[in-house]
Amino acid sequence: MERILITGGAGFVGSNLAFLLKDKYPERQIIALDNLKRRGSELNIPFLKSAGVEFIHGDVRNREDLNFDEKIDFIIDAAAEPSILAGLNETPDYLIHTNLNGTLHLLALAKRHNAGFIFLSTSRVYPIKPLENLNYREDESRFELEETQPVAGCSRDGISERFPLQGARSFYGTTKLASELMLQEYEAFYGLKAVINRCGVIAGPRQMGKVDQGVVVFWMARHFWEKELSYIGYNGSGKQVRDVIHIHDLFDLIDYELNNFNKVSGKIYNVGGGRAVSFSLKELTEHCAAITSERGGGGVKLS
């Protein structure tokens, strides 16, 4: 019986992946490990257990929480402190211990069990200044990238894996990039089989949106409860653009990788919705206002 360990297993991404995997492959043993630090993650435990997922209250920062006697076949590392603001107004210790040291502990576990490793990284590994200096034009509701750019790995379709990595990116992005580099060392010198997915904005059911993570749910919640919102940066235009991927589409990718691991091992993928599933903050505001007004909502106040 194949055993799959999902860290961050009670979080939005981890719990959805665990549930969907168990639902599709009931013969597989799915283990969700989480330290339950994020408020609300404990609400997913009954949801996981109802599907037959084994839940372990553990922390990737602690090696002793990762002592598994029975063989682990795959590890999906979805454990992270995901806030772009983490470490800016306080010490980055928790961020570093979770995002970097935690991944190092999991890599050691994968080595012991000869397990395949699926690492959920982030689009935040790409540095801020080169992104800010890209060529773009301003349309009525959004900024659009131009086809010709000053650096490789960028076109009107977005950012590719060839985009340069030199420069500052946030403590969060740096810990994830450092984890990627250590993973590649394990691949080269220990023969670890692994794939890196640099995920962008993810949305879907049971996500708990905050200012710094889960923007789609956060934006909708502010409209639903008639709270204030602000456009920050770019002269308050709200025209900055991100693409978004649904959690079920991310599951389809992970499912493919698990079943075609030799094909994807050693690869790095940017994972997002692309231009077809993108929005500016201004456009997202219009979508949320239209949906909530249909349901009798009073809208949102922009400040």
Ranges 172-186, 220-234, 238-252: which has the least confidence: 220-234
**H helices of 152-280, where?**
171-190, 215-224, 247-259, 261-264
Kindly state the percentage of the chain with pLDDT values over 90: 86
Does residue 107 lie in a domain region? yes
Domain housing 17: 3-134+152-206+247-279
Q: Read off the CATH number of the domain in which 110 is found.
A: 3.40.50.720
Q: What is the pLDDT of residues 19-53, one digit of tens each?
A: 999 999 999 999 999 999 988 899 999 999 999 99
Domain membership of residue 146 (yes or no) is no
> In angstroms, rounded to a whole number, what is the distance separating the alpha carbons of residues 226 and 287?
15
301 found inside a domain: no
* Residue 16 within any structural domain of the chain: yes
Q: Are 278 and 206 in contact (CB under 8 A)?
A: no
Integer Cα distance of 105 and 98 in angstroms: 10
Residue entry with tokens 């200044």 = 129
pLDDT for the residue numbered 39: 86
CA distance linking residue 127 with residue 121, whole number of Å: 14
Residue 120 belongs to a domain: yes
DSSP track, 249-278: HHHHHHHHHHHTHHHHTT-EEEES--GGGE
Burial of 46 (0-12, 13-18, 19+ CB in 10 A): exposed
Angle at 116 between CA 114 and CA 121, to 5 degrees: 135
Average pLDDT over residues 82-106: 93
Evaluate whether residue 222 is within a structural domain: no
Please indicate, yes or no, if residue 213 is contained in any of the structural domains.
no
Does the pLDDT of residue 299 top 70, yes or no?
no
Question: Is residue 274 included in any domain, yes or no?
Answer: yes
In this model, does residue 105 exceed pLDDT 70? yes
- Average pLDDT score over residue span 204-217: 87
Residue 294 has pLDDT above 80, yes or no: no
pLDDT of 238 reads 96
- For the chain, how many structural domains are there in total? 1
**pTM for the full model?**
0.95
Q: Which of 135-149, 214-228, 282-296 holds the top average pLDDT?
A: 135-149
Q: In whole angstroms, how far apart are CA 148 and each of 127, 130, 163, 170, 242?
A: 19, 14, 14, 27, 19
For range 140-152, the mean pLDDT: 97
